[in-house]
Amino acid sequence: MLKVYNTRTRKKEAFKPLKKGEVGMYVCGPTVQGPMHIGHARTYIAFDIMRRYLEFSGFKVNYVMNITDIHDDIISKANETGVAFEELIERFIEIFFRDMKAFEIKPATVYPRVTRHIEEIVHFVKELQEKGFAYETHDGVYFDVSKFRGYGKLSGVKIKKSKTGTRVETDKYDKASAQDFALWKKAKQGEPAWPSPWGNGRPGWHIECSVMSSKHIGEQIDIHGGAVDLIFPHHENEIAQSEARSGKRPFVKYWVHTGFLNVEGTKMSKSLGNFIEVPDLLREINPKAFRFFIGQLHYKSRINYTKKDLEKESKKLEAWNELIHRLGTAKGGKENKKVSALVEKTMKSFRKEMDNDFAFSNAWAVLSKFKTQANKLAAGNKLSEKNAKEILEFLRKIDSVFGVFTFEKEKQEIGKHELELVKKRGELRQQKKWAEADAIRKALAEKGIILDDTPTGTNWKLVSKGQDNN
User: Which one of the spans 22-30, 46-54, 256-264, 333-341 is the region binding Zn ion (CB under 5 A)?
Assistant: 22-30
Q: How far is CA 412 from CA 239, 460, 462, in A?
A: 51, 11, 10
Q: Are strands 449-454 and 457-462 parallel, antiparallel or unpaired?
A: antiparallel
Distances (CA, A) of 357 to 49, 61, 67, 188, 319: 12, 17, 27, 46, 27
In this chain, which stretch among 26-34, 113-121, 362-370, 413-421 interacts with Zn ion, using CB under 5 A?
26-34
Residues 367-396 that bind Zn ion (CB under 5 A): none
Residue number, 42 or 253, with CB nearest to ligand AMP: 42
Interface of this chain with Zn ion, residues 205 to 264, rule: CB under 5 A: 209
Q: What b/e string do you get for 323-348 counting C-beta neighbours within 10 Å, with b at 16 or more?
A: bbebbeebeebeebeebeebbeebee
Name the residues that contact ligand AMP, by CB under 6 A. 28, 30-31, 39-40, 42-43, 226-227, 229-230, 258, 260-261, 268
Q: Shortest Cβ distance from residue 259 to ligand AMP (Å)? A: 7
Q: In the complex, what is the shortest distance from the CB of residue 258 to ligand AMP, in angstroms, rounded to a whole number?
A: 6
Nearer of residues 274 and 375 to ligand AMP, judged by Cβ: 274
Question: Judged by CB, which is closer to ligand AMP: 234, or 461?
Answer: 234
Contact between 28 and Zn ion per CB under 5 A? yes
Contact 53, 356 (CB under 8 A): no
Nearer to ligand AMP, 173 or 260 (CB): 260
Pick what 31 binds: Zn ion, ligand AMP, none; C-beta below 5 to 8 Å, kind-dependent.
ligand AMP
- Report the nearest approach of ligand AMP to the CB of residue 39 (Å): 2
Find the binding residues for Zn ion in span 192-211 (CB under 5 A): 209
Distance, CA of 272 to CA of 265 (rounded, Å): 12
Q: Of Zn ion, ligand AMP, none, which one sits near residue 209, judging by CB under 5 to 8 A according to partner kind?
A: Zn ion
CA 70 – CA 4 distance, rounded (Å): 32
Pick between residue 147 and residue 300 the one whose CB is nearest to ligand AMP.
300
The minimum distance between CB 372 and ligand AMP, in angstroms, equals 32
Per-position x/- string for 432-461, each x denoting binding to Zn ion as judged by CB under 5 A, each - no binding = ------------------------------
3-state SS, residue 92: helix
Q: Which lies closer to ligand AMP via its Cβ, residue 135 or residue 275? A: 275
| Rounded CA separation 358/31 (Å) | 27
Task: Compute the distance between CA of residue 410 and CA of residue 414 in angstroms, rounded to an integer.
Answer: 7
Nearer to ligand AMP, 305 or 320 (CB): 305
> Residues touching Zn ion: how many (CB under 5 A)?
2
We find the least distance from the C-beta atom of residue 267 to ligand AMP, in angstroms, to be 7
Q: Pick one of Zn ion, ligand AMP, none as the site partner of residue 403 (Cβ within 5 to 8 A by kind).
A: none
- List, in sequence order, every residue forming a beta bridge with 462; answer none if it has no partner: 449
DSSP string of 279-347? HHHHHHS-HHHHHHHHHTS-TTS-EEE-HHHHHHHHHHHHHHHHHHHHHHT--SPBP-THHHHHHHHHH
Interatomic CA distance for residues 226 and 228, integer angstroms: 7
Q: Under DSSP, is residue 6 helix (H, G, I), strand (E, B) or coil?
A: strand
Sign of CA dihedral 325, 326, 331, 333: negative
* Residues near Zn ion, by CB under 5 A: 28, 209
